[in-house]
């Protein structure tokens, strides 16, 4: 049977492989402790490649939730799998789960220098809602944080 891409909820058993992926490819470099806290408190979904009984982590997405709103706190796709629509598919799968749970809106914040992520979010229908000037420190300068929102309501 050929390898297949699949999606599932993360558990604490996924902490080590998530921390390795974040260290290798994350934009904001979350610590292992921060990922553990996310696994304990937030909704974390994985994109995996299954081959028979083996599975390999390709990416993850972390969402916090309050009432009917979610915030995408982090998304990472393994560099070896980037550009193959896995980020888009992981987010679409996550949005479907969030929507089924009654979440209506998803917010996110992204550095203005993160072109690939901004292109991904705009392609998925996120709209620019605001800007925090100089929010992120990058070496010796500061860059703006862009705030995006997407309506997750399912069409009738």
Ligand X SMILES: CC(C)(COP(=O)(O)OP(=O)(O)OC[C@H]1O[C@@H](n2cnc3c(N)ncnc32)[C@H](O)[C@@H]1OP(=O)(O)O)[C@@H](O)C(=O)NCCC(=O)NCCS
Residues in contact with ligand X by the rule CB under 6 A? 25-27, 75-77, 82-88, 110, 114-117, 119-120, 123
Q: Min. distance of Cβ 53 from ligand X in angstroms?
A: 25
Could you give the CA distance from residue 138 to residue 71 in angstroms, rounded to a whole number?
A: 23
Of 31 and 85, which CB lies nearer to ligand X in the complex structure? 85
Handedness of CA 43, 37, 90, 127 (dihedral sign): positive
Q: Which DSSP letter does residue 42 get?
A: S
Q: Cβ closer to ligand X: 39 or 74?
A: 74
Q: Which 8-state DSSP code applies to residue 38?
A: H
Please indicate whether residue 121 is annotated as part of the active site: yes
> Is the torsion defined by CA of 156, 45, 109, 103 positive or negative?
positive
Q: Is 109 a catalytic residue?
A: yes
116 or 134: CB nearest ligand X? 116
27, 55, 109, 135: the active-site residue:
109
Q: Which residues are catalytic?
A: 109, 121
């Amino acid at each position: 049977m050929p390898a297949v891409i699949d999606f599932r909820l993360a558990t604490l058993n996924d902490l080590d492989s998530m921390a390795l992926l974040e260290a290798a490819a994350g934009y904001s470099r979350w610590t292992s402790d921060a990922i553990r806290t996310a696994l304990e408190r937030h909704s974390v979904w994985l994109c995996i490649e299954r081959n028979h009984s083996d599975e390999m982590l390709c990416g993850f997405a972390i969402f916090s939730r309050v009432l009917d709103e979610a915030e995408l706190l982090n998304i990472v796709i393994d560099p070896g799998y980037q550009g193959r629509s896995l980020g888009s598919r992981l987010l679409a799968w996550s949005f479907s789960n969030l929507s089924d749970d009654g979440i209506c809106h998803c917010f996110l914040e992204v550095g203005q220098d993160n072109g690939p992520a901004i292109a991904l979010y705009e392609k998925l229908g996120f709209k620019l809602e605001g800007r925090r000037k100089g929010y992120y420190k990058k070496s010796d300068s500061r860059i703006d944080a862009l705030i995006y929102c997407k309506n997750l309501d399912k069409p009738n």
